[in-house]
A = this chain, B = another copy of it.
Amino acid sequence: MPIDMMIRKVRLHTGLTEEDTAALRSIVSSVRDLGAGTSIIQEGEISSHCCVMLSGFSYRAKVSDGGKRQILSFHIAGDMPDLHGMFLKRMDHDLTTLTQARVGFIDHRALRQVISLRPAVAEALWRETLIDAVLFREWIVSLGTRPAAARMAYLVAELRQRLAAIDMVAEDQFRFPVTQAKLAEALGLSAVHVNRVLQSFRAQGILDIHDSVVTLRDIEKIVEIGGFNELNLQPLESA
């Protein structure tokens, strides 16, 4: 029952009834397995449906003038990374799979209907988009105020927390198939410098990223270096 991945997360933050979740589940019109690096939507497109990550990773990215690409966020099972496409005319960024991923698609029209009939669902989804914004804000703080190592640590700490919520963290390890080049694009650093930071972390026994796996050697330190405050994710809880 992979689709329940979506439900699981939405439920985390709200009090959806069984019927509500069933309604959501019922409008997932198709589920596809996409290979790594598949584009789900691109900047400028107008889409008629949105998607739910059921497994795997994806990321949002945007190219700025000069050709540099900025990764805006990583997405995991349960996320609906293009939900906003329902209300904004054009996508303002790309959405691409990072790994092979199972993705469910929901037609905007069907979703609109569920929303109009079920205020609780509307609220839950609205809240999802607001949580998205909370993460963006943290990201802005990271890019604006933290040095390279701290950004790296913060990213790892945040991912760990989000992945833990869907039981994807085991033994202080989690799968995260990202290249150093992509980390660089996410952190606003050069790939070379990402490599150096990573090596320093390895040398200090703080963390390691190897073969698509992140190993947390010293969580306390990661959290400290990254200035990660779990409380920052408290506002995510329902009002």
Measuring CB to CB, which residues of chain A are less than 8 angstroms from any residue of chain B? 44, 46, 60, 62, 64-66, 68-70, 72, 84-93, 116, 119, 122-123, 126-127, 129-134, 136-146, 185, 187-188, 227, 229, 231-232, 234-239
Interchain CB contact under 8 A, A236 and B127: no
Query: Contacts A87-B126, A127-B87, A238-B89 given: A188-B145 contact, CB under 8 Å?
Result: yes
Q: How far is the CA of A65 from the CA of B140 in the complex (A)?
A: 14
- Contact partner of A84 (CB less than 8 A), chosen from B60, B70, B93, B130, is B130
Interchain CB contact under 8 A, B134 and A137: no
The residues of B that contact A66 with a CB separation of less than 8 Å are: 145, 227
- Which chain B residue has the least Cβ–Cβ distance from A116? B119
Query: Contacts A140-B143, A144-B70, A227-B66 given: A129-B133 contact, CB under 8 Å?
Result: yes
4 pairs of A and B residues whose beta carbons are closest in the complex: A144-B188, A65-B227, A143-B143, A136-B136
Q: How far is the CA of A222 from the CA of B227 in the complex (A)?
A: 35
Query: Contacts A62-B137, A129-B130, A133-B84 given: A91-B235 contact, CB under 8 Å?
Result: yes
Query: Contacts A62-B137, A140-B139 given: A88-B145 contact, CB under 8 Å?
Result: no
- Contact partner of A64 (CB less than 8 A), chosen from B84, B90, B116, B141, is B141
Q: Tell which of A72, A130, A142 has the most Cβ of chain B within 10 Å.
A: A130
The residues of B that contact A134 with a CB separation of less than 8 Å are: 84, 88, 92
Interchain CB contact under 8 A, B127 and A129: no
The residues of B that contact A146 with a CB separation of less than 8 Å are: 64
Q: How far is the CA of A137 from the CA of B234 in the complex (A)?
A: 22
- Which chain B residue has the least Cβ–Cβ distance from A139? B140
